[in-house]
Amino acid sequence: MFKKILIANRGEIALRILRAAKEQGVKTVIAYSQVDENSLPVLLADESICIGPAPAIGSYLNVRNILSAALVSGAEAIHPGYGFLAENAEFAEKCEEHNLVFIGPTAESIRLIGDKASARTLAQESNVPTVPGSGALNSAEQALEFANKIGYPVILKASAGGGGRGMRVVQSSADLERQLVNAQEEARAAFGNPEMYLEKYIEEPRHVEIQVFGDGKGKVIHFFDRDCSIQRRYQKVLEEAPSTLDNELRVQIAEAAVRLAEHINYRGAGTCEFLVDREGGFYFSEMNTRIQVEHPVTEMVTRFDLVQEQLRVAAGEGLSLSQEDVRVEGHAIEVRINAEDPDNDFRPAAGTITDVHWPGGPGIRVDSHVYAGYRLPPNYDSLIAKIIAWAPNRDEAIARMQRALEETVLDGIKTTIPFHLKVLDNAFYKRGAVYTNFIARRMQQ
C-alpha cells in the first residue's frame, strides 16, 4: 500500500478520499486553490499545498502545479476524484512520466472508452447493445443523411463530453443544422473539442448504470446496478440502488458491462451507463472512467468501500474479492444537496452557511465538506452534500430519506432540499415509474 497520496480535488469527494486513505494508514496531501484554504479537506489532511487561484484553470486543472505539489510532498500517487482531471488521459500519462501512480485506469483506457464514438465501437466489438448512431460527424450534410436514415427524434452528443454539455435532442431535419452548430460551440467551450456524433433518441428511457472494477490484468467484477433516471438538464439529482428492474434484466446488463471492461483490460473503478426502454431493451450509452458521485448507494447495498478498493488496485494489490463475494442487501437512495434556489430556476446560491445540523439515525450517511461558518465559493460546482438512506426495502428507504431531509438544517443559503422532498412524495416516484424525463413530465414547478 502507498505511504502517501496527493488528492487533486476539492469538496466532498476530496474528503471522501481522505477518509478512505486514513483508514488504510495512508498519509494525505490536499492540493487546493486559494479560495478553498479553509475547506474541511484542507483542515483535516496531513499536509496541504496551494496550487493556484480560484479559477479551476489555474488550480485544479493546472497539471504542472499539481505534479509539482505531488513531487515536493513526496506523494507516491495522485487520486483525481471526479471531474477536473479525473478522465484526462494526458494527465494520467504525465503522472506515469513523473513516477507517480495515477489512481484510475490507464491513459490508453481513458482514450479508448472516454471518446464516445470510440466507445460505441468497443461496445459493439464486445457484443454489447448500442443505440443506432453515427461515428464522428464531419459536416451538417452527413448529420442530415444519417438522421434521415435512422429516423427522428435524434440526439446530438459531444464526443469528448459528459454531464449534458453539448447534448441536443432534435425532432426534425429543419432544426438539425442549427442545433448542431449550437452543440458544437458548447462542446468547444466545455471540452476544447467540438466533435459531435449522433444517436437515435430513446424516448422515456430509464438511466441504469453498472459499477465495474478491474485489476488491469484481465479480471473484472461488477457491483450491480444503480438507477439514475431522476435528472434535470441531463444532470443526475437523485440515485438509488438497486434499480427496480427485474433480476434477469439486471444480470444481463451487468454481464454486458463486464464484457466491455474486460475487452479493454480495464483497471480500477468505472461505470457503464445504459438506457433501458419500456420493452426491456437496453443500450450502452457511455463509460465513465472514474469513481462516480453516486457511488455511496452502491457501497450501502453491497457493504463495500469502493474508494479503498481503488487504492488497493492502484497499489498493485489486485482485487480483494471475487464476483461471488458481491451481494446486494436492502435498498439505498442518494440525494444531491446543491446550493441552488429551486424556486428561482435553480440559480446557484453561494454564500455563508450560518448553521448546520445533519440527520442521523439508523441507515443514514452524509458525505459533505461544509460546516457552520463555511463560505461557499461561487467558482465551482454547487454540490455541498450527499445524503444517503439505506433500509431493508425501497418503501422504507423513501420514508427514511424523507425523515432525514426534514431534520436537516443548512441555514444561510438556499438548497435543493425542498425539491427533493417533492420528488420523494410524488406518486409516480413512489411506485418506481421513473424515466429520464420524470422532472419535466411529473413534477409541477
Sheet arrangement for strand 196-200: 168-170, 154-158, 196-200
How far apart, in whole angstroms, are the C-alpha atoms of residue 318 and residue 216? 8
Taken in order 166, 293, 58, 380, the sign of the CA dihedral is positive
Cell of 349: 446560491
Residue with cell 453491497: 302
How far apart, in whole angstroms, are the C-alpha atoms of residue 131 and residue 129? 7
DSSP state, residue 375: B
Q: Are 225 and 88 in contact (CB under 8 A)?
A: no
The rounded Cα 427 to chain-centroid distance in angstroms is 27
Q: Are 110 and 87 in contact (CB under 8 A)?
A: yes
| Residue 290 appears among annotated catalytic residues | yes
The rounded Cα 359 to chain-centroid distance in angstroms is 24
Closest-CA residue to 119 (of 131, 106, 137): 131
Cell of 142: 452527413
Q: Which of 290, 312, 336, 365 is catalytic?
A: 290
Closest-CA residue to 352 (of 9, 15, 83, 38): 38
Angle at 346 between CA 342 and CA 351, to 5 degrees: 95
How far apart, in whole angstroms, are the C-alpha atoms of residue 338 and residue 409? 13
Cell of 318: 489486485
Cell of 24: 488504510
How far apart, in whole angstroms, are the C-alpha atoms of residue 233 and residue 227? 17
Taken in order 132, 133, 134, 136, the sign of the CA dihedral is negative
Name the residues annotated as catalytic.
290
